[in-house]
Every structure is written in structure tokens, then in C-alpha cells.
Amino acid sequence: MTVRPQHFVKINGTKKKLNGSPFKEDSCLNIKDVSLKVGNSFVPSLDLENNNSGRSTFRTSSSVTIKNAPSIIDFLELKEAISVFGKVIKVSRRPGTYGLDNWDIEFKRLKSSKKALSVGYITVKKMHLRIWPLQSLETVIVRISNISLETADSTIHSACKLCGSLKGLVRMKEGVVDALFSLKGETDTKSILKKLNSTVVDESKWSAHLQQSESPSMTMTENGNAEGDLGFKIG
């Protein structure tokens, strides 16, 4: 008979049992309803506006973002790749870090953004670009390190949910994850950090700190092997 291991976590000195639940899951381009007939096919008319504020104007649940994409990727290539998940009604390009671009994409339907986040990436010019939920002003990214190599993804997910309103997790490398939390205020941020820094799982005490900048999207060639290692999941 196989006995399933029990995982426990200490938060603020209190030992809690984890349920082992699965590790779950700008320039602006407006796509008009007007179509232009080209031969026997129809293509949408596209408008492109520049937005250099660095802050997204998209605040809908049907939107996603692709961070720090190489500048060699243009909006038509990106739109074509992201459209496999559903109809796109707006695309915004904002300046990222180190001369890279951030792309915000708004779908017509909520289920399209959920599908995009579930798949987790698109491929453009043989590069994998990670798809993230669009970060609002009420969310924060926390880098968690010193996680035991024996700690399962489901255990990390459950422990983080005990510390705050978890939106998602990204495993950056062994022993390190980025956690996306939704916030209610500054005190909520302090509370989340305090709980995470008091968390002990599999005899390893976690270390947590705020990410001052957005976590980079994963970009690699087709020959890279990180696709199976760095998976974005929505909680």
C-alpha cells in the first residue's frame, strides 16, 4: 500500500497542514470592424498609436501581457501568433527594460485570455515568449528563494495561498519562484512578506522580497529546454 506524504508548513510559528492541491493554474493597435478586401480574402484595418508612458492602459480581465520581447518582433507578427487563442481587439506596445518591448493584448472574449494563460507562451521567430496575466496596480510580484528541492510545486502553491491572495506562480529556477499576489493596500504587502519570510517547508525557511521591476518573460530559441522547467500556472 502506498502512503501519500503529508506536507506541513510553519507560518508565524504556527504549523499548518497543506492539502496538496494541484499547482494551478505602449503603442496601441486597434482592430476595427472595417475590413479591406484583398483578392479573395479579407484583412482587418489596423491603427497604431504610440504610448511611451511605460504604464498599461488595459485594465480588463480579458487581457494578457508579454514582457521584455525583442524589438525585432513587430506587432503584426505578434498579433498573428497570439490570435490562435481568439479574436484580438487591441494590442499595446510599451517600452520595457534594456531596450525590449512589453506587449499588452486584449481579447474579445475572456475565455481567450484564459486559454492563452493556460498554454503559457507563443512562438515568434523561433523564440518562445512567455504569456503573463496583465498586472494591475493592485498586484505585486514577490521573489521567493531558499525553497527546498524536495518541495513539490503543489506544496509551494498551497503555502503561498496561506500567505495572501495568490494570482499565479512562475518557477524561475531550482529553489526560486516568483509569486503574483493581488493586494488590498500597503499593509497587505507587508503582511504577505512577513508571512512568507516566516514560512518553513521541508526544513527550509523561505526568503521573500518584492520585485522592483517586472519579472522578465522567458525568451529562448527552439533548442532551449526551459519550456518544461519554467511553467506559468494560474492559481
Task: Enumerate the CATH 3.30.70.330 domain ranges in the chain, comma separated.
Answer: 8-19+136-234, 28-133
Specify the CATH class of 28-133 in words.
alpha beta
Higher pLDDT, 85 or 214: 85
**pLDDT averaged over the chain?**
73
User: Does CATH number 3.30.70.330 belong to domain 8-19+136-234?
Assistant: yes
**Residue 94 CA from chain centroid, whole number:** 17
| pLDDT at site 189 | 85
Lowest-pLDDT range, 58-72, 150-164, 195-209? 58-72
Instruction: Could you list the beta-strand ranges (E) of the chain.
Output: 8-11, 14-17, 28-38, 41-49, 63-69, 88-95, 101-107, 121-124, 127-130, 132-133, 139-145, 165-173, 176-182, 200-201, 204-205, 207-210, 232-234
pLDDT of res. 145: 96
- Quote the pTM value: 0.43
